């Protein structure tokens, strides 16, 4: 099983040196689970030697464009390509209707001779609150994270906790530092892929490097950082992390 970072940058990544932080999990049988599907997915897939035809399954963590903006491309490509079947789409039940009604329907609702729904383009698998889904024998647990708190409600957003070949993996997706609410995942995980903002002007909605560097060494030593901004990066290894994930970097699990 391979985990490939199609990109490792933030929503504001530009150019071909890096792409948005979308990942591809590739099984021994050739099935491919896309973990988030940002607006530059057609470019990042092509750069890695893949196309829309390779994507059999998709997981969506939340509704920002760098995580869902490429679904229109994949959906239409599958619908009008006779050699391509619909992908399975795994998404939290509370996000499924909003994904269609507030994000995709404006451009995808009207097709020649019909009114489309999300099911026109994908085989949708809604996941119960804090539930899980199974792909290629792997159980993926949805872990709620705090990405944006409006003051009225917390925007639904989910990381993933899963195990491959005995290795426990925590993928945060976009998140603030949630060590207090997600402490068990940080402790249980053998490897952590963590959202890491590196902007000169920190936002309140991502874990910033300045925060992460204060974590205990026992956590930092199993943490890879991704979702960073363009430009120079701190010395992550020198500060006790595994490092910053590079575009195209692959992690093997046997």
- Tell me the per-residue pLDDT of 198-216, one tens digit each, with 9 for 90 and over: 998 899 999 999 999 999 9
Determine what percent of the chain is predicted with pLDDT higher than 90.
Answer: 93
What are the Cα distances from residue 119, in Å, to 88, 194, 213, 221? 10, 32, 43, 42
Token code pair at residue 95:
């996000």
Closest CA to 34 of 10, 68, 64, 65: 68
123 vs 74: CA distance, rounded Å: 13
Asked whether the predicted pLDDT for residue 153 surpasses 80, the reply is yes
Domains and CATH numbers, the chain: 2-252 (3.60.15.10)
Over residues 169-174, mean pLDDT: 98
User: What pTM was estimated for this model as a whole?
Assistant: 0.96
Mean pLDDT of the chain: 96
Q: How confident is the model at residue 34 (pLDDT cuts 50, 70, 90)?
A: very high
118 vs 100: CA distance, rounded Å: 6
Other CB atoms within a 10 A radius of the CB of residue 112 amount to 4
Determine what percent of the chain is predicted with pLDDT higher than 70.
Answer: 100
pLDDT at 236: 98
Residue range 63-94, pLDDT digits in tens = 999 999 999 999 999 999 999 999 999 999 99
pLDDT at 166: 97
pLDDT at 154: 93
């Amino acid at each position: 099983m391979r985990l490939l970072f199609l990109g490792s940058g933030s929503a504001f990544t530009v150019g071909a040196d890096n792409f948005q932080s979308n990942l591809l999990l590739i099984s021994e049988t050739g099935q491919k689970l896309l973990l988030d599907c940002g607006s530059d997915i057609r470019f990042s897939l092509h750069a890695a030697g893949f196309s829309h035809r390779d994507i059999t399954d998709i997981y969506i963590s939340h509704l920002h464009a760098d995580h869902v903006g490429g679904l229109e491309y994949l959906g239409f490509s599958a619908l009008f390509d006779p050699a391509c079947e619909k992908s399975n789409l795994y998404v939290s039940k509370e996000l499924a209707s909003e994904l269609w009604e507030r994000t995709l329907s404006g451009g995808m609702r009207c097709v020649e001779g019909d009114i489309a729904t999300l099911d026109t383009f994908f085989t949708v698998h809604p996941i119960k609150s804090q539930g899980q889904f199974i792909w290629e024998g792997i159980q993926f647990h949805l872990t709620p994270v705090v990405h944006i708190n409006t003051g009225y409600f917390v925007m639904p957003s989910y990381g993933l906790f899963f195990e491959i070949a005995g290795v426990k993996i925590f993928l945060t997706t976009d998140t603030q530092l949630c060590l207090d609410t997600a402490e068990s995942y940080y402790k249980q995980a053998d490897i952590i892929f963590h959202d890491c903002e590196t902007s000169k002007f920190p936002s309140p909605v991502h874990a910033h490097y300045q925060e992460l560097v204060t974590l205990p060494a026992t956590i930092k030593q199993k943490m890879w950082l991704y979702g960073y901004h363009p430009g120079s990066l701190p010395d992550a290894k020198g500060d006790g992390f595994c490092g910053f994930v590079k575009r195209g970097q692959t992690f093997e699990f046997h």
